[in-house]
Structure 1
């Protein structure tokens, strides 16, 4: 059997429209928040356009790249073929153009097609034995299950009048749950030993989003808190603290705290701004803190084929890279500013929140891309 070598440049066709979505959707989000503060911004998007670009466009590219390239190579010994990558990239570009043009119905149809492509490929790859003969673990089954569940939830929301944005958000959150069932061991060094907790956390997440999509926010919030707590117990981050991964632990704990904070806001907060804070606590606080916490470990393993990485001290000479610390602080400060704006309606906080988060995300992605490119140098 021929085993491929990871080729970072093969991720570019999928990530290019994703990065365009990130820039346009992020700037559009900044413009929305600035309008709340009475300030003008050059790019004006409606909230649904912002959701489509960020969730379907950017997260669709990020997770699509993970499933078609990175995880595929690790599990099956091969990346997706160029025709399939070209098809998925074409769908992403079509999504970007329809979203910018305000053709939301067309964008929704394209998003479902993207999920279908990923579902067909994932079912073909991740439900078969690995390149070395291992049987598919629970995480593989969750990855495959997340795709049709995401499509079903989104289609139901479209036809029954639910929230498109919340329905679409299940895809990246559910996929994070699925992938973390496997990747968390890279941080803790210990494989999760209680899979029933992971299954219960995932089930609670599915029901929570189904309720949230159709406006049943209080029970949805309770289940979101339960799901986060079960996921923490399943992952092992509450029991293990490896010295060489302490900064990753901080990021992962921050992610789960934001997830459970979103649940609290759904239970006790009102509509409007508090709904917005809850959505972004999940979309940015949970997802990006997890990505920040785990991806740096994955990149190190790809680059060095070792799990040795000291991330305790902050400084130029070693330890947690300054850029990693800076992106973590900016991301969480931006989210905190968003929550404080909902509490105080201080315009300065609305002006600061979006740029802080945007700088953090773009800087982290550029940092990660630069390190990936070293693999092909």
Structure 2
């Protein structure tokens, strides 16, 4: 799609509200391979594990994340050029098929070129994610509280070609059996996280438990057109979309067997949600918010933080459209006297359809009060993510 169509798709997502997160929800975690279940602090805990709100220093009285933002994209190489080339080939084929005076040589050449260009579009498309998140944390020894907003939007542009066309006679070739689809789904959470230490009877051990009730808004958009009538230069997006508001909840637990070590478990979106969008062509896009369970462990001695998370469940955003996602994540952070941080990580895909990610990040936090974090993630040759955040800790 041209840049103007891409901008239109993203502006629609922003209006409908938010997007798919990359691996990790905030810039600090994104630089550490997306880890956070056992390594998030009291400010970002609601995004990973609300029990982690019990992780704060004695002099922490207030925390603010304002905001954390990210953008990511994964696209077929030269997608715009491939679509333009097919459109030209399709016009030439139609002209040769409909010529008043048949020309077998011209039709054969047009058909051969048409098949090459159509095959070049197989498994083509792009996906984009956008997100903006906020948090206000009030740590205390009794019951820390965090008011948060998490907003994600995911957009998929998909080309589904009919491979049977490649075996048909030249005068029967038709692009109308191949399709172009643009789907976008968003989920926006506004909630309150609370956490408390609980003494486990008989074993005399303390664990931290966290709970995040939240209002959740889902939005899904679905545009569908056959490849024969799709015009890359003048494609117009419909303004129709489906939306619903519901309730959901997250839960988490953290345990510290020894002071530097944390093991944790997080379960998010415990109430599964679905929202369908049916377009004029009869194509249905089902956007899903599924329960997700992740286990994590972290070691933190003050200057070195090493963390590992593993998804125990697979997540699929669009039913029958996108492939699932499930990762094992590793990350480290080196802290220079609480003034500067260097981060790195690696996310290993556990399912087909998603690639491994390499992550890097840096942070600057003068006096340990105002913090600026940036991160980048790369997967393969055509997938790239960036994240940035501003935080205040008093």
**TM-score range with shorter-chain normalisation?**
under 0.3
Q: Which has the higher helix share?
A: 1
Q: TM-score, normalised by structure 2?
A: 0.25
Bigger Rg, which one: 2
Q: Which has the higher strand share?
A: 2
Q: TM-score, normalised by structure 1?
A: 0.26
